[in-house]
Structure 1
């Protein structure tokens, strides 16, 4: 799941818009839910999933980046890789940010979940995903249930998430099935993380690296 900046209020006009060499553009869809899903309000039979959530409360920057890249590099996640240690720790060590690793029975980290409560009354599912070998097994539904159970706490009135066209093609449909409603769309243009040296040039085959 990519993270987008404030899109502002000026819409793009129709037609083609050139992207500079070394840059990328993504169409970002913002989704939200305004009340806890009914399924979370009633007890149910939990699926037998061989996974656990491990809260990381004092995670070193190197450890965070390693998991972030294992999960997000195939989708060109980059925003946290552009931060220095101080800026990264200011976010992930903030008491209003909850960071979890998803581990398997061997205690190997195969996914991540990051919840951001820094905006009063809201929770952003900032990062949500699995390493490639753990996808396609239905684990996403399990993790989303855990995410929403933790997100809908206290005075939260809205849970929201962004996804974009660099993510998996089923991302929007997955979020909608979980109860999120798409409410806006915008275009984000940014320096290609491969051109910036944040990720390897061999990643993101569906989005060719174009430079001068």
Structure 2
């Protein structure tokens, strides 16, 4: 158990507070689909997935899928227990919704986000209604996710307004992808790079 106090994060690393949330009864906001958008399944093509993953997640230093072995990612994307969806605008995917049904009776919201083209349009609330519907339509008892302080400052409040309840919190330390993996050093200016 950690004592109260401050702990140094090694140079070249990032630290985040992760909050775990869950929903056991579906709750919908009833938000209509914004004009010009279409909710649809997402291609399971690994290259197309990673391109969208980067457009959605780069500002927040999402790195989980980009550092994964390509075959491992391909296997996840092609697994029938993985649900992949998007919002299309002018024929282009502008949102990422990835659901994991690998645990019986549960669904984990693995990834959820919008490209800058949709932020502030109401598309997020609409997409979350679709996520909740897709999850509970499979007869699950628990829909859960985690978010962290590296994500958008609005993320935690958004999930709570969507009906998720916080159930736990932890600290995660990881390699800073801008230092260890060649990510653009200008990404995520809210998290300063500290070189080793």
Give TM-score, length-normalised by structure 1: 0.87
Alignment match, 2:124: 140
Runs (5+) with no aligned partner, structure 2? none
Report if aligned partners of 1:78, 1:198 keep a CA contact under 8 Å in 2.
no
SS in 1 for 2:94: strand
In 2, distance between residues paired with 1:210 and 1:103?
A: 37
Given candidates 131, 141, 148, the residue that maps to 2:115 is: 131
Alignment match, 1:181: 165
Report if aligned partners of 2:41, 2:86 keep a CA contact under 8 Å in 1.
yes
Q: Is 1:84–2:95 an aligned residue pair?
A: no
In 2, distance between residues paired with 1:99 and 1:27?
A: 27
Query: How many equivalent residue pairs?
Result: 196
In 2, distance between residues paired with 1:145 and 1:113?
A: 11
In 2, distance between residues paired with 1:13 and 1:155?
A: 42
Distance apart, 1:45 and its partner CA: 7.8
SS in 2 for 1:19: coil
> Please, which moves more after superposition, 181-190 or 191-200?
191-200
Q: Deviations over 1:61-87 (max 9, x none)?
A: 211111000000000000101112101
In 1, distance between residues paired with 2:68 and 2:15?
A: 20
Report if aligned partners of 2:34, 2:121 keep a CA contact under 8 Å in 1.
no
In 2, distance between residues paired with 1:53 and 1:133?
A: 15
Q: Deviations over 1:31-58 (max 9, x none)?
A: 1011122x48xxx68354321122135x
Q: Deviations over 1:5-49 (max 9, x none)?
A: xxxxxx432111111111100001111011122x48xxx683543
Alignment match, 1:3: none
Alignment match, 2:189: 205
SS in 2 for 1:101: strand
Distance apart, 1:98 and its partner CA: 0.7
Report if aligned partners of 1:49, 1:139 keep a CA contact under 8 Å in 2.
no
Distance apart, 1:172 and its partner CA: 1.1
Alignment match, 2:16: 26
In 1, distance between residues paired with 2:144 and 2:31?
A: 26
In 1, distance between residues paired with 2:138 and 2:178?
A: 40
Runs (5+) with no aligned partner, structure 1? 1-10
